């Protein structure tokens, strides 16, 4: 059955729960938002390690997925298995293409990178053993260039030997096209164990595939693809953005909303990013966004995201911070807006310090990857803190990746440094509002202090 998120949530509240759900499309922000709504409804007491299992669709095999959904739950109630970014529904032309950021994926999530490489081999009828030793050199340089075209790999000879050795050492072999989907089809068709729910998310879906047809008949499919008509997409974005702001107690005029979408582009995540800037700009005491606000704040697609400034501060990257600051100043973004972004980053860093110091989360050492944080740490954090935290401006009410990056960044700062930065923020705020100096120089000084260069 193909449905909408509102109808789905209503059916879940009424106790009508299917065993399988598919959320797909290129609007990744909306998919993540829908997923969280589904989880909150299915697991009202919050997800934990015993009732919610998360798998990476890029690296998890169907055998692992089936094991997760078939294993009996250790506690009463529903058990949810989430498989993110699966390629099981994609056509071969999409499924067996290497990711553009192959090297980055290989570093951050080697399982996903290797899986995509093995899929590519299977699609071409090759095996990993064909490439062992110097076997990969038997394939022409032109062919390898075609395979890695569009990725961040510039010299295949520096990458291939390591990837091939990784596969051989672990006994990994390529998948034959369609094998994985065929394994999952009877499980979905026959139904999962009682109170077990499988949720899959995907970017690309081929509706001709048998697996898709079975799931759409036995489960629920939600489409989050961008509308092919720009005019219709703008209308959809306008409705959704109004709802997004209304949930935060803010209204926006029609003219302001039209300009916001015009400057942000047609991706909902980008529009929300610009909307977050506007919420910071409004501050406390205002609950309406006017045309003038958008004209002063929204930078527009291609001009850089304002939260790059916060990222540079969290990373203690002086060079990046000064470059980003100059770019935003040149774009005419108001200094007080930039100061608000810096203040928000400092507040989040202090809150991250509190979370670690209070024992709510472990220190973010090198072993704490985003996947480990998302699967283990974040669900516990939601249970312990989020229910009692009503202020949407708090770190723990943000996106899991924002929380993760902030916790990792907090290790670069001592509490004394952060307290010093709070004092520096107050001084800069007073100077900006009293015309006590050049805004660019004042903000540059703050970036220097945040990097630890001027504060030591």
Tens digits of per-residue pLDDT, 408-455? 888 888 888 899 999 999 988 888 888 767 888 999 999 998 887 543
**Measured between alpha carbons, how far is 3 from 222 in angstroms, rounded to an integer?**
6
Which pLDDT belongs to residue 92?
59
Residue 202 has pLDDT above 70, yes or no: yes
Summary mean pLDDT of the chain: 81
- The CATH T-level fold of domain 2-90+178-223 is Rossmann fold (3.40.50)
Which pLDDT belongs to residue 401?
66
Structural domain spans, the chain: 2-90+178-223, 97-169, 227-303, 306-456
Report the 10 Å Cβ neighbour count for 440: 14
pLDDT band of 367, cuts 50, 70, 90: low
Q: Are strands 2-3 and 220-223 parallel, antiparallel or unpaired?
A: parallel
**Measured between alpha carbons, how far is 121 from 175 in angstroms, rounded to an integer?**
8
- The CATH T-level fold of domain 227-303 is Helicase, Ruva Protein; domain 3 (1.10.8)
| Lowest-pLDDT choice from 119-123, 140-144, 334-338, 362-366 | 362-366
**Closest CA relative to residue 8, chosen from 159, 212, 224:** 224
Torsion (CA) 105, 108, 111, 114 in degrees, nearest 10: 30
The pLDDT tens digits of the residues spanning 46-86 come to 777 788 898 887 667 788 899 999 998 888 889 999 998 88
| Lowest-pLDDT choice from 38-47, 158-167, 378-387 | 378-387
The pLDDT tens digits of the residues spanning 149-193 come to 878 888 888 888 888 888 887 777 655 544 567 788 898 988 889
The answer to whether 59 touches 87, Cβ cutoff 8 Å, is no
The answer to whether 245 touches 304, Cβ cutoff 8 Å, is no
What's the gap between Cα 164 and its chain centre?
29
First to last CA, the chain: 61
| E-state strands within 277-430 | 288-289
- The CATH T-level fold of domain 306-456 is Zinc Finger, Delta Prime; domain 3 (1.20.272)
Threshold 0.85, pTM exceeds: no
Torsion (CA) 355, 359, 361, 367 in degrees, nearest 10: 120
């Amino acid at each position: 059955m193909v449905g909408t998120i509102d109808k789905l949530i209503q059916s879940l509240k009424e106790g009508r729960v299917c065993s399988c759900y598919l959320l797909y499309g290129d609007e990744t922000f909306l998919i993540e938002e829908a997923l969280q709504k589904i989880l909150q409804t299915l697991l009202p007491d919050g997800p934990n390690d015993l009732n919610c299992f998360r798998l990476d669709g890029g690296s998890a095999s169907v055998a692992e997925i089936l094991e997760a959904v078939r294993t009996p739950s250790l506690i009463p109630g529903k058990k949810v298995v989430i498989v993110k970014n699966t390629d099981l529904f994609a056509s071969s032309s999409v499924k067996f293409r290497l990711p553009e950021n192959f090297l980055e994926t290989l570093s951050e999530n080697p399982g996903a990178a290797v899986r995509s490489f093995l899929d590519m081999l299977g699609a071409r009828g090759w095996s990993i053993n064909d490439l062992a030793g110097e076997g990969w050199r038997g394939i022409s340089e032109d062919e390898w260039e075609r395979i890695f075209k569009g990725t961040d790999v510039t010299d295949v000879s520096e990458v291939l030997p390591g990837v091939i050795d990784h596969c051989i050492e672990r006994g990994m072999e390529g998948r034959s096209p369609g094998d994985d989907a065929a394994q999952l089809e009877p499980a979905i068709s026959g139904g999962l164990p009682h109170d077990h729910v499988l949720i899959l998310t995907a970017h690309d879906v081929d509706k001709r595939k048998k697996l898709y047809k079975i799931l759409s008949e036995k489960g629920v499919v939600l489409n989050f693809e961008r509308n092919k008509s720009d005019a219709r997409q703008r209308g959809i974005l306008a409705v959704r953005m109004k709802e997004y702001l209304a949930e935060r107690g803010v209204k926006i005029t029609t003219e302001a909303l039209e300009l916001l979408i015009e400057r942000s582009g047609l991706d909902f995540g980008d529009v929300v990013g610009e909307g977050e800037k506007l919420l910071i700009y409004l501050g406390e005491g205002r609950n309406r966004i006017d045309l003038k606000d958008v004209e002063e704040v929204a930078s527009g697609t291609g001009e850089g995201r304002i939260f790059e400034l916060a990222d540079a501060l969290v990373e203690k990257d002086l060079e990046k911070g000064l470059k980003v600051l100059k770019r935003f100043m040149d774009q005419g973004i108001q200094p007080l807006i930039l100061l608000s972004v810096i203040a928000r980053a400092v507040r989040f860093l202090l809150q991250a310090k509190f979370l670690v110091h209070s024992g709510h989360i472990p220190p973010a050492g090198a072993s704490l990857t985003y996947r480990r944080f998302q699967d283990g740490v974040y669900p516990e954090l939601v249970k312990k803190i989020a229910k009692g935290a009503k202020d949407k401006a708090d770190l723990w009410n943000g996106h899991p990746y924002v929380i993760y990056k902030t916790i990792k960044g907090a290790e670069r700062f001592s509490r004394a440094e952060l307290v010093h930065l709070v004092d520096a923020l107050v001084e800069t705020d007073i100077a900006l509002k009293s015309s006590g100096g050049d805004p660019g120089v004042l903000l540059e000084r703050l970036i220097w202090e945040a990097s630890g260069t001027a504060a030591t």
